[in-house]
Copies of this chain bind each other. A is one copy, B any other.
């Protein structure tokens, strides 16, 4: 037989080297970055990793389990950044603002994570209790920050969770609008800065509390 005919020419090592699971998540994110969540296919991920179409099923039950892993990672990263923002600024007012900026910055610099976290692709609560727990932990960072500032007398004495949902809706709204390109041409920092100012003071003018 000819010496070089039956040589397998593509695969260098028959098995994937190190941590295939992590590689799959990383490659999925790269794909979502460029193609969008709808453009994510397991076959292409495998192909790009030089691995069979079905190797993925050794690490994830199915496609939505892979997405759940992406979402979980995202919530952990977000929580760490929020905690860092709280820790980073000794002034309570400044720390609160830093959290808001950190939240939107996270979403803008990790849009793929963020979309998976909130895009409704993961059937969140049903499937993955770990993901629900991570999501709850991120939210609690905000709740605690608000409660602390209420104790300092800086914020109104509303239910801290209620106030946290309000603040969350604002930063989430800004983040989604930026990611979806609805604020194209706008300076994200300026948008967040305006929002934080009016979040504090309100949009109503003066003491006009009619009737």
Interface residues, chain A, with chain B CB atoms under 8 Å away: 36, 38, 93, 115, 118-121, 124-125, 135, 153-158, 162-163, 165-174, 176-177, 179-184, 186, 191, 194-195, 198-205, 208, 210
Contacts and interface: CB of A to CB of B under 8 A. Distances in A.
A203 B155 contact: yes
A173 B100 CA distance: 14
Nearest to A63: B38
Interface centre among A156, A169, A195 (most CB of B within 10 A): A169
A125 B181 contact: yes
9 contacts: A115-B120, A118-B182, A119-B180, A120-B180, A158-B203, A169-B170, A169-B173, A169-B177, A200-B203
A108 to B, nearest CB: 14
Contacts of A157: 205
A158 B199 CA distance: 14
A164 to B, nearest CB: 11
B198 A200 contact: no
B155 A204 contact: yes
A158 B205 CA distance: 11
Contact of A183 (B165, B177, B180, B184): B165
A119 B183 CA distance: 14
A156 B205 contact: yes
Contact of A154 (B171, B177, B199, B204): B204
A56 B199 CA distance: 47
A123 B172 CA distance: 21
B163 A120 contact: no
Given A172-B173, A176-B176, A163 B36 contact: no
